[in-house]
Amino acid sequence: MSKRVYEIARELNLENKEVIGRLQDAGEDVKSHSSSVEDSVYERVFGSGTNGAANGRSAAQEAEAQEAREAAEKSGHGATIQEAPAEKPVSEPKKGRSQKKRRRVVIDASARNRGARPTAAPAAPREQESAPVAEKEESADAGVRVEPGATVKDLGDALEVPPTRIIQVLMGLGEMKTLTQTLSIEEIELIAEELGVKVEIGAVEEPAPEEVLPDDDPADLEEKPPVVTVMGHVDHGKTSLLDRIRHENVQSGEAGGITQHIGAYQVESDGRKVTFIDTPGHEAFTEMRARGAKVTDVVVLVVAADDGIMPQTQEAIEHAQAAGVPMVVALNKIDVPNANQDRVLGELSERGLMPEAYGGETVTVPVSAKTGEGIDELLENILVVAELEDLKANPHAPASGYVVEGERDPGRGPVATLLLSRGTLNKGDVVLAGTAYGRVRAMLDYTGKRVKDAGPGTPVEILGLSGVPEAGTRFEVVDHERLARDRAQQAEEKLRRQELAQGGSRRSLEDLLGEGGMQDLNLVIKADVAGSVEALKEALAKLSTDEVRVNIVRSGVGALTDSDVMLGSASDGILLGFNVRPTNTAKQVAEREGVEIRTYDVIYKALEEIESAMRGMLAPEEREQETGTAEVRQTFRVPNAGVVAGCMVTSGEIFRNNRVRLVRDGTVVYEGNIASLRRFKDDARSVREGFECGIGIENFDDVKEGDVLEFFEIIEVPR
């Protein structure tokens, strides 16, 4: 058993500071009124129980305090003079009895004291108070659920106690709070202990709203384009296959040649439109693939003929089967010398996908994304499977569907890619998507062409939302913007409560590597698109172990700001940026607060580094050391050299062998090497702050006035 400092102070009628001082004089590490003191320490410092030297020393003080209480009660409320003797039983038990009931007697006395004020008769309040006390003791066994971050008023409502009583308890603990101020988890537990009520800290579960299925008239239903999701393992050729189908190349635009977020495209075959969704293949994107399966009509499972079924292939099969979506298997890379189609067909049959060649129903099409062989047959089979599904939707109903992707564009604001499952979306409609809402200002198809409306099964990009919606969120068209705003605010409040309920103790990465026991690694995550945020959260959550738990304190879309840095500082967390950069203010605040910021362009690197850090097996760290920054003032096109940026060096010094990162409105546009560095017409090895220079960037010409160039070198730092 142990006691808190404030309990000892109340028992011995001493000030908290005096008790802390005596314990510190005895060599005990006591820091606040809520610190715990073991019984053995209590007996050594204060004597056993409340008798002996401690009691003798405080007898006079107790008498004086008693007289002062009685005088105060007489002057304020004469009806409660009889309550003064209630203090005496506190010092009667002498044989190690639990102090909880003694505390409850004192607290109940003060509660009666408060309850007696409106009336003149002292007996009535005492009788009325006895029933609520009994109810509290009964409810203490069940426990009251309280959300983290609850205000004083929220806690009073949850415990069925007037907020003024909560404030009184806090004042007794040396804390001053108003009705609307939030309480920490420790404060909630202390207040509950004072009131003799058992509490559980966690989110109050709310029933999820049931989605009402549309009841459309069969006469209103029309055929819609099938939505096809391309799934499969890493590097099995999903994006290359789509490139061949769409006759364009997007693969080179992805960092590391790996699809980082979902893209929605539409193609036409035999006069019929087909919508394709390309999902990443790495296991980090399980949630994104699950979302893709939720909105899709047909799944194209890409399996490399030379590799067979891999872990992500198995996950894709499970997602499609769970969603009840028909599958078409594309046996890719049949042009590779060691391709073995029969082995892949056997592996498919082992997993319940019996190929047509073996007498089953699973359509398998040999294809080569490289040569284009089998592409036409694949499209034909997709349309045949879609016909069998009889895909229809009501284009005359209010539009609804799902958010495929969301990002914050520096020039256009929040941008969301929507996939309509029902109804027709028109320019000017009011859209509600989770916590984001707004009137559609502009609508673009997958080619970037502006359109005025979009029907079921069509992917469109819309502008005009109040914020960036999370990928996978269901959207709908509502009648009024005011209704959309109210519902979005409700969703935001619910999300805030869920984030507060995650809680988590405050630890830094250094603490993780240096301390034993269960630790939390707090992370603030920002990315360029919402899909990448979800993928990072899902992947990092899987890294949690018995010793280390990953706790996502905040996640969002956009540049890392000073607000993110302050949150990281408050939670002893680390900031992770994916394809985004910190603002200049954020860098300054991070340096002042000692907050670590790490940025990545491929999710694998982020996962590997965090996992290595958690294992405590860190190799020498390759760290970026910024040498200088420059601002683009003017651009020139030079024959045989491309675009040269006329820059002013705004900080530090830049060197010819530096690497350069081009940042536009807080977002990384390009990273590479310096092709040329000149002062006037002469080559320069370096340029210092305050001087102008001309800079050419290797293999990159899309430089604009106002862009910021960050110059850095890679150094190895032992960990």
Pick out the residues of the known binding site.
232-239, 278-282, 332-335
Q: Looking at 80-181, which runs of residues are DSSP E strands?
A: 144-146
State how far the alpha carbon of 33 is from the alpha carbons of 7, 152, 240, 354, 515, in Å: 9, 20, 65, 69, 26
Quick one: 305 exposed, middle or buried, by C-beta within 10 A (0-12, 13-18, 19+)? buried
DSSP 600-649: ESSHHHHHHHHHHHHHT-PPPEEEEEEEEEEEEEEEEEETTTEEEEEEEE
Task: Return the sign of the alpha-carbon dihedral for residues 27, 31, 33, 39.
Answer: negative
Q: At what angle do helices 286-295 and 311-323 cross, to 10 degrees?
A: 30
Helix-, strand-, coil-residue percentages of the chain, each rounded to 5: 40, 30, 35
Contact 207, 185 (CB under 8 A): no
Q: In whole angstroms, how far apart are CA 705 and each of 462, 630, 680?
A: 27, 11, 19
By CB neighbour count within 10 A (0-12 exposed, 13-18 middle, 19+ buried), where does 288 fall?
Answer: buried
- CA-to-CA distance for 584 and 698, rounded, in angstroms? 25
* Dist CA 316 CA 348 (whole Å): 13
3-state secondary structure of 329: strand
Q: What is the DSSP string of 81-103?
A: GGGGGGGGGGG---S---SHHHH
Closest CA relative to residue 260, chosen from 518, 509, 527: 527
Is residue 431 classed as helix, strand or coil in its secondary structure? strand
Interstrand relation of 708-717 and 621-638 (parallel, antiparallel or unpaired): antiparallel
Q: C-alpha angle 84/54/94, rounded to 5°?
A: 70
Contact 559, 583 (CB under 8 A): yes
Q: What type of residue sits at position 3?
A: K
Which residue ranges make up the annotated binding site for GTP?
Answer: 232-239, 278-282, 332-335
Q: Which residue has the tokens 């009024």?
A: 480
Q: Within 13 A of 579's CA, how many CA atoms are on the CB side?
A: 24
Q: Crossing angle, helix 5-12 and helix 100-115, to 10 degrees? A: 70
How is residue 314 written in tokens? 């198995």
Q: Where are the alpha helices (DSSP H) in 310-374?
A: 311-323, 341-350
Distance of CA 325 to the CA centre of its chain: 30
Q: Helix, strand, or coil here: 173? A: coil
Do 524 and 401 meet the contact criterion of CB atoms below 8 Å apart? no
Residue type present at position 29: D
Q: Please give the Cα distance from 336 to 338 (Å, whole number).
A: 6
CA dist 541 and 614 (Å) reads 13
CA 239 to each of CA 225, 230, 246, 448, 698: distance values in angstroms, whole numbers, following the listed order: 21, 8, 10, 20, 27
Contact 439, 511 (CB under 8 A): no
> Which residues lie closer than 8 Å to 149 by C-beta, 6 or more apart?
182, 183, 497, 500
CB 288 within 8 A of CB 279: yes
Three-state secondary-structure class, residue 215: coil
Q: Under DSSP, is residue 71 helix (H, G, I), strand (E, B) or coil?
A: helix
How many Cβ atoms sit within 10 Å of the Cβ of residue 237? 26
Which are the contacts of 290, defined by CB distance < 8 A and separation ≥ 6?
319
